[in-house]
Structure 1
Amino acid sequence: MTSIDDLLRPDLRGRSPYGAPQLDVPVKLNTNENSHPLPDEVAADIEKALASVVRGLNRYPDRDAAGLRADLAAYLGHGLDVSRVWAANGSNEILQQLLQAFGGPGRVALGFTPAYSMHPIIAAATGTRWVDGRREADFDIDPAHAAAQIAEHRPDVVFLCSPNNPTGTALRPDVLAVVLEAAPGLVVVDEAYAEFAREGTKSALTLLPGRERLVVTRTMSKAFAFAGARLGYLAADPAVVDALQLVRLPYHLSALTQAAARAALAHAGVLLSTVDEIKRQRDRMVTALTGLGLPVVPSDANFVLFGGLADSRAVWRSLVDRGVLIRDVGLDGWLRVTAGTAAEVDAFLTAITAVVAALPVSESGA
Structure 2
Amino acid sequence: MRDNLPKRAEHGGRVRWHRTRKRGEVLDFSANVNPYPPAFPWIPDASALKDYPDDRYETLKEEIGRTFGRDAAEVAVGNGSVELIRAFCSAVLGPGDTARIESPTFAEYGMAVRLAGARCTAGDGRAAVRFLCNPNNPTGKLYSREEVLRVLDAAAGQGTCLFLDEAFIELSDPRESVVDVSDENLFLLRSLTKSFAVPGIRFGYAFGTPELIEKVETVRLPWTVNTFAESFAIEAFRHYDLLEESRERIARERAWLCSRLDALGLVYAPPSANYILIEVPVEAEVLVERLLSRGILVRDCRSFGLPRHIRVAVRTHEENRQLIEALEACLP
Residue 235 (structure 1) aligns with:
207
- Return the TM-score normalized by structure 1: 0.80
Q: Which amino acid aligns with 2:268?
A: V
Residue 118 (structure 1) aligns with:
108
Q: 1:252 to 1:28 in 2, by over 3 A?
A: closer
Residue 304 (structure 1) aligns with:
276
Query: Matches of 1:255 and 1:311 in 2, distance apart?
Result: 44
- Equivalent pairs counted in the alignment come to 318
Residue 95 (structure 2) aligns with:
105
- Return the TM-score normalized by structure 2: 0.88
Query: Matches of 2:279 and 2:27 in 1, distance apart?
Result: 21
In the TM superposition, 1:1-366 aligns within 5 A as 7=1, 9-12=2-5, 15-20=7-12, 21-22=14-15, 23-24=18-19, 25-36=25-36, 39=39, 41-42=40-41, 45-47=42-44, 50-51=45-46, 53-54=48-49, 57=50, 59-75=51-67, 77=68, 79-131=69-121, 133=122, 149-150=123-124, 152=125, 154-173=126-145, 175-183=147-155, 184-198=159-173, 201-206=175-180, 208-209=181-182, 211-270=183-242, 273-330=245-302, 331-356=306-331, 359=332
Deviations 1:35-91 (A, max 9, x none): 45774x42xx232xx23523xx2x43212101101111222x2x3120111111111
* C-alpha contact (below 8 Å) 2:179/2:207 kept by paired residues: yes
Mean alpha-carbon deviation: is it higher for 157-166 or for 283-292?
A: 283-292
**Structure 1 stretches of 5 or more lacking a match?**
1-6, 134-148, 360-366
Query: Matches of 2:313 and 2:88 in 1, distance apart?
Result: 28
* C-alpha contact (below 8 Å) 2:64/2:75 kept by paired residues: yes
Query: Matches of 1:37 and 1:104 in 2, distance apart?
Result: 39
Query: Matches of 2:36 and 2:172 in 1, distance apart?
Result: 18
**Structure 2 stretches of 5 or more lacking a match?**
20-24
Q: 1:272 to 1:53 in 2, by over 3 A?
A: farther
Deviations 1:85-113 (A, max 9, x none): 11111111111111011112222222111
Q: Which amino acid aligns with 2:170?
A: E
Deviations 1:163-220 (A, max 9, x none): 1000111124454344323332210110000112248x511224x24x2111111011
Q: CA shift at 1:255, angstroms?
A: 2.8
Secondary structure of 1:218's match?
strand
Q: Which amino acid aligns with 2:30?
A: N
Q: CA shift at 1:308, angstroms?
A: 4.4
Structure with the greater alpha carbon radius of gyration: 1
